[in-house]
């Protein structure tokens, strides 16, 4: 049984609501965070492996919600509640990347975490494989829906958003096709 005193981290739980991303705080809870034991190579904003995050049972712990602890950010993939032990175990993927500046074409610049893939493979209109630069950003950190003409600055370079691939928004990570 997980004792209340073993939950050492005060975390915030967020959801994104509406067509335009609106970040909504659902609560602040005590949790215990266990990082993944094995890691592979990172190929997107989603870190390899899943963390186990344990809470006292709470209705706000749901798949698709975000967990924030300091500068760290996770997306809840799945969860299981144990009513006897009165805990919820969540398997969550950490969203890790580099600090970048996102500038909407009609707004003010702000900081996001981002992951740059220089040669992401996509299927072109004729069925041939096309390689493009892609930047993944955490949807929770966006203040408006991304669109062509927005810019992302990272690694000392500015990239122009040209669009989003099909299926490029899974509710947690938004994939943006970019060019210099």
pLDDT at 21: 75
pLDDT at 138: 95
- Domain ranges in the chain are 4-94, 98-179
Cβ neighbours for 90, distance < 8 A, ≥ 6 positions apart: 52, 53, 54, 55, 61, 67, 76, 77, 78, 79
Q: How far apart are CA 66 and CA 48, in angstroms?
A: 17
What is the homologous superfamily of the domain 4-94 according to CATH? Bacteriophage SPP1 head-tail adaptor protein (2.40.10.270)
pLDDT at 152: 97
pLDDT at 121: 61
Q: How far is CA 153 from CA 29, 50, 131, 132, 160, in A?
A: 34, 29, 21, 17, 9
pLDDT at 146: 93
pLDDT digits (tens, 9 = 90+) for 21-43: 789 999 999 999 999 877 778 88
User: Which residues, given as ranges, of the chain have pLDDT below 50?
Assistant: 1-3
Q: How far apart are CA 36 and CA 12, in angstroms?
A: 20
pLDDT at 1: 43
pLDDT at 130: 64
Say yes or no: do domains 4-94 and 98-179 share a fold: yes
Q: Which CATH number fits domain 98-179: 3.90.1150.10, 3.90.1300.10, 2.40.10.210, 2.60.40.290?
A: 2.40.10.210
pLDDT at 140: 95
């Amino acid at each position: 049984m997980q004792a209340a005193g073993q939950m050492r981290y005060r975390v915030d739980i967020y959801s994104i609501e509406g067509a335009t991303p609106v970040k909504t705080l659902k609560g602040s809870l005590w949790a215990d965070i266990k990082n993944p034991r094995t890691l592979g190579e990172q190929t997107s904003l989603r870190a390899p492996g899943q963390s186990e995050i344990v809470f006292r049972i709470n209705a706000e712990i749901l798949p698709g919600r975000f967990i924030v602890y300091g500068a760290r950010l996770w997306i809840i993939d799945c969860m299981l509640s144990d009513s006897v032990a009165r805990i919820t175990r969540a398997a969550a993927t950490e969203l890790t990347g580099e600090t970048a500046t996102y500038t909407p074409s009609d707004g003010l610049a702000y900081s996001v975490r981002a992951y740059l893939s220089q040669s992401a493979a996509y299927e072109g209109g004729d069925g041939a494989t096309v390689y493009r630069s892609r930047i993944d950003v955490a949807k929770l950190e966006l203040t408006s829906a991304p669109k062509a003409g927005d810019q992302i600055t990272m690694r000392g370079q500015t990239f122009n958003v040209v669009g989003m691939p099909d299926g490029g928004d899974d509710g947690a990570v938004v994939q943006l096709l970019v060019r210099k």
